[in-house]
Every structure is written in structure tokens, then in C-alpha cells.
Amino acid sequence: MSSRREFLGDTLPTLAFAAIASTLPGCAGNIPAAQLQSVLMRIQGTAPIGKAYLQAVADEAHIPVLEAAFLSTDHRSVLTHIRDLINQDYLDDRLIIVEGWLMSRTEARLAALSYLCFS
């Protein structure tokens, strides 16, 4: 199993890439959804965390419910929105222990969405 540092080390650069890619000429379609899909494809290794989270919080085991949490309505990039959500989780003590990892609820939801999309 990967360490939290490896998870974050793999995830944050991916988020940054997705945000940068959205500004490149020729990018078409729903940019926030495309950014989110790009992020999810790159964190597929978090499936055990996502699965464990969904077993604990079964009412969130629906792609549209989780997806809506990551798509901002105020024209911010997905990266900025996710970073803000994670920071706010820590400020508001919205933390959860999943598979022995203490993480923000947003991090756990991101892993859960990846699990649902690719498992």
C-alpha cells in the first residue's frame, strides 16, 4: 500500500497538470469535467481507499453525488476548487480515518469517485 506522501505526491502534480491543460489552445468540451476525469484516471491506485470510504459512507456511493462535489460553479479550475475544499476540511475538522489514514473528507471522496469510475 502506498504511503500518504506517495498518494499526495502522485495526486497533486496530476491536479496541476489538469489545471494547466485546460488553458491550452484546442482544449474542447466541458473543461471542468475533463480536468476531473484526467485527475481520476491518474489516481486509480487509490481504489482501496475509495472502496473503504464507500463502505463506511454508503449514501455517497453514487458517481453524480461525488462528481458534483468537485465541479465548481464559479469558474475556478478543478485544481483550485479541490485545494480549497481540502484546506476547508482541515480548518473545519472534516477529517476521516480510512484504512488507517487520517485524511480530509475531500481526499477520501476523490479516491471514492476514482474507485467508482474505474473499478
Q: Write the pLDDT tens digit of every residue in 61-118.
A: 988 888 877 776 676 777 788 889 999 999 999 999 999 989 999 999 989 988 888 8
Residue 84 to residues 13, 24, 26, 62, 107: CA-CA distances in angstroms? Answer: 16, 23, 27, 23, 12
Higher model confidence: residue 68 or residue 7? 68
Amino acid at 10: D
Cβ–Cβ < 8 Å for 79, 18:
yes
Share above pLDDT 90 across residues of the chain, in percent, rounded to a whole number: 30
The mean pLDDT of the chain is 75
Amino acid at 17: F
The answer to pTM > 0.75 is no
CA distance 72 to 81: 6
